């Protein structure tokens, strides 16, 4: 394999949601020592890095994405010494460590906001986005928040409105202010100095607004149900400001001072493809970005795959993509994409396809086990989005349930029967110990696919030279360093006749042969 590539190019990254991974102290909430205990399992998967969702000090109104201290660990997860031990153990195992950074907003309990709201004359008065009311007392613009309701909240102390694109307890940082940029870059340096290898940057396209506070225009109807006021607008002015790439250049200048640092941005919204390219262009921006191509898709189709890959051709100056089928914000893919009767076969197909994509691939904890969405009753919900939009909800809690490690205990080996969310009977039956004992399990298949991807340059970092769709047949060709691989996927429930596909068989899933692809089968040929 080419040794000149940076470690992250073509990497497989494993996302860990700390609250639900492993509970080391029995309080019902996962923690950093719990992650450290299970890092051997993660390394054995064959991934290159872990991405840990927020573990910073927080009132947990949005479960860590509302940070009140960027430089410390929330007590429910442990302390800084636990994080240092986690990094040391990960590096011993050959795993890189990526952590979340949330720069678009903080908690309203952050000292910066406490000082900012205290007075319009304070040193941090303009560290957040404040604006006067309109003459009639209404908010400064018509902007709506992601979680429902206006994106402005009145504050009697300042006698002004403050902006929040998410919860009212998540006030928007003013990244137009260079002092604020300096402060968050200092935070990034703090974690780099503690040994982290990179960052996933949350909601990056929300980090700067239009200072003119221009109203957003209405969004045309697209046939999809609108469950939030946010869905009724084109988000042209509350996010996606043209100066964001300049801030990204400052991030890159800092991370380039450390060897092997990797940065990936989460970018959602109607203009995500353009923004992802702007945020990753050339050698002065982020290394990668990932959007929501697959995360909220209600069906996996060949057209979806070819369109996503086609947006990121192997061209000089164009950024490097990352892909995720699942994460902590989206319903589990197997619950979105397939019925119960074909779920096991489809899970193997899905993992084979993920491993064949050009770019980095991100596995969400439990995806390698085939975990499905857990139906959380209303009285057990924690997610503010789910509670606000019940019953028309994305049900983020249903994808955040505890990781099942063993079938031998009622808590699934998570560490506490009184876990913060229910385990789910269906997922309990897919526990790690049961799959370790089954050579045909999805866990074993995932390890095989990650090993195959790492061993073959065409899969790991090669170009996409062809992506074709014929009904349920997805025909993908990857090439690199003299190797050409043809990857064939049957995305449907009926067999597909291939005639006699030429090439040397490198991998098969679900009984695939050169002549026929059974339902949800996959075949990788060296040609």
Active site residues: 202, 266
Quote the Cα angle for 43-48-53, to 5°: 85
- Extract the tokens encoding 516: 């026929």
Name which of 223, 173, 205, 210 is nearest 67 in CA terms.
173
**What angle, 0 to 180 degrees and rounded to 10, lies between the N-to-C axes of helices 343-355 and 442-455?**
20
Q: Kindly compute the dihedral angle of the four CA atoms of residues 128, 226, 63, 327, in this order, to the nearest 10 degrees.
A: -120
CA 126, CA 138: separation in Å to the nearest integer? 21
| Cα–Cα distance for residue pair 230/219, rounded to 1 Å | 10
DSSP track, 435-469: HHT-TTSHHHHHHHHHHHHHH-HHHHT-EEEEEEE
In whole angstroms, give the CA distance from residue 499 to residue 519: 16
Report helix, strand or coil for 322.
Answer: strand
Contacts for 159 with CB less than 8 Å, ≥ 6 apart? none
| Cβ pair 67, 57 in contact under 8 A | yes
Tokens of 435: 């799959």
- Contact 462/473 with Cβ under 8 angstroms? no
Are the C-beta atoms of residues 71 and 83 closer than 8 Å to each other? no
């Amino acid at each position: 394999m080419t040794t000149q590539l940076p470690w992250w190019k073509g990497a497989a990254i494993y996302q860990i949601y700390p609250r639900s991974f492993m509970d080391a102290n029995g309080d019902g909430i996962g923690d950093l020592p719990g992650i450290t205990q299970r890092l051997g399992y993660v390394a054995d998967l064959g991934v290159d890095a872990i991405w840990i969702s927020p573990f910073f000090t927080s009132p947990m109104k949005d479960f860590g994405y509302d940070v009140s201290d960027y430089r410390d660990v929330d007590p429910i997860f442990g302390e800084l010494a636990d994080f240092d031990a986690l990094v040391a153990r990960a590096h011993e195992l050959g795993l890189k460590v990526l952590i979340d950074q949330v720069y678009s907003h903080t908690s309203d309990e952050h000292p910066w906001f406490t000082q900012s709201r205290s007075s319009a004359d304070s040193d941090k008065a303009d560290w957040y986005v404040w604006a006067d009311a309109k003459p009639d007392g209404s908010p400064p613009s018509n902007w709506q928040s992601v979680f429902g309701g206006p994106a402005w909240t009145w504050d009697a102390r300042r006698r002004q409105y403050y902006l929040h694109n998410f919860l009212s307890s998540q006030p928007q940082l003013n990244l137009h202010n260079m002092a604020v940029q300096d402060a968050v870059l200092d935070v990034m340096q703090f974690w780099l100095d503690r040994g982290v290898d990179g960052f996933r940057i949350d909601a990056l396209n929300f980090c700067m607004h239009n200072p003119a506070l221009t109203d957003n225009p209405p969004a045309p109807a697209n046939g999809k149900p609108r469950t939030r006021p946010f869905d009724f607008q084109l988000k042209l002015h509350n996010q996606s400001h043209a100066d964001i790439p300049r801030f990204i250049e400052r991030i890159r200048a800092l991370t380039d001072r450390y060897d092997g640092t990797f940065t990936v941005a989460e970018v959602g919204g109607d203009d995500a493809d353009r923004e992802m390219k702007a945020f990753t262009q050339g050698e002065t921006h982020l290394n990668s970005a990932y959007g929501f191509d697959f995360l909220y898709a209600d069906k996996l189709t060949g057209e979806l795959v070819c369109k996503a890959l086609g947006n990121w051709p192997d061209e000089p100056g164009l950024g490097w993509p990352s892909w995720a089928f699942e994460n902590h914000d989206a319903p589990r893919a197997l619950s979105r994409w397939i019925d119960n009767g074909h779920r096991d076969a489809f899970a193997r197909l899905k993992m084979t396809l993920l491993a064949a994509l050009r770019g980095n691939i991100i596995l969400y904890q439990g995806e390698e086990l085939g975990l499905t969405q857990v139906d959380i009753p209303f009285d057990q919900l924690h997610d503010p989005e789910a509670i606000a939009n019940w019953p028309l909800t994305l049900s983020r809690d249903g994808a955040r349930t505890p990781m099942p490690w063993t079938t031998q205990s009622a808590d699934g080996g998570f560490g506490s029967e009184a876990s913060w969310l229910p385990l789910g009977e269906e997922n309990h039956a897919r526990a790690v110990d049961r799959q370790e004992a089954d050579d045909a399990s999805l866990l074993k298949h995932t390890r095989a696919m990650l090993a195959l991807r790492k061993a073959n340059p065409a899969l790991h970092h090669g170009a996409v030279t062809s992506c074709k769709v014929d009904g349920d047949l997805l025909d993908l060709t990857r090439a690199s360093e003299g190797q050409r691989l043809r990857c064939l996927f049957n995305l449907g429930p009926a067999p597909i006749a291939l005639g006699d596909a030429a090439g040397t068989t490198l991998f098969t899933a679900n009984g695939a042969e050169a002549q026929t692809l059974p339902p949800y089968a996959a075949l990788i040929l060296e040609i």
